[in-house]
Amino acid sequence: MDVYFMDCPLTDPQVCEAMGILANERLHAGGTFVSQYRFPNVLPVVDGAGRSSLPLRDYIPTLRKHFVRAGAARRQPPSVALLLPRTATPLSGALALALRDVARQSPWLIMRCAGPERQIRLVDTRRLVEMLCDSVGARLPGPWS
């Protein structure tokens, strides 16, 4: 699994926890080897109200370029993950979409936890999107079904 991060990589205990979660859930994450790659701090400058100069959807092409420079396009591991920044950002979704476009697969999202019982949480974005599409398609008529 290739893990892309902005600020701090996963620690050894966090890597072990991630692999344990994947093994317990019987989810395929591409073996037990984790490579971590830093991409630069690419968050846009925000004003005092927390607004950036660009809408998030317009920032995705810039984020794609940063993932290409970090090597996400040329590596083809069985799975990829995005370690979300320590500071919450509205760009998290845009980061995941940009990595999905460049790596050509839906990334796992890894979030750090503050609690002592767990250090991280993993979200399978591919499964999340499938569940959302299934539930929306089951309730609403139209192009979703």
* Residue 116 maps to a domain: yes
* Residue 59 maps to a domain: yes
- Please state the separation of Cα 48 from the chain's center in Å: 27
* Residue 72 maps to a domain: yes
* Residue 144 maps to a domain: no
Q: pLDDT value at position 141?
A: 47
Band (pLDDT 50/70/90 cuts) for residue 39 is: confident
8 Å CB contact between 85 and 10? no
Most confident of 67-71, 72-76, 88-92: 67-71
Containing structural domain, residue 45: 2-139
> What average pLDDT does range 7-28 have in this prediction?
81
Collapsing DSSP states into helix, strand and coil, what is residue 87?
A: coil
Per-residue pLDDT reduced to its tens digit, 98-119: 999 999 998 999 998 877 778 8
8 Å CB contact between 6 and 38? yes
In the chain, the number of structural domains is 1
* Residue 145 maps to a domain: no
% of the chain with per-residue pLDDT over 90: 25
- Quote the tokens at residue 88: 């919450």
Nearest to 4, CA basis, from 76, 71, 94, 61: 71
* Residue 112 maps to a domain: yes
8 Å CB contact between 43 and 89? yes
> What average pLDDT does range 24-40 have in this prediction?
71
* Residue 17 maps to a domain: yes
CA–CA separation, 95 and 42 (whole Å) = 10
pTM, 2 dp: 0.78
CA–CA separation, 74 and 63 (whole Å) = 16
pLDDT at residue 139 tops 90: no
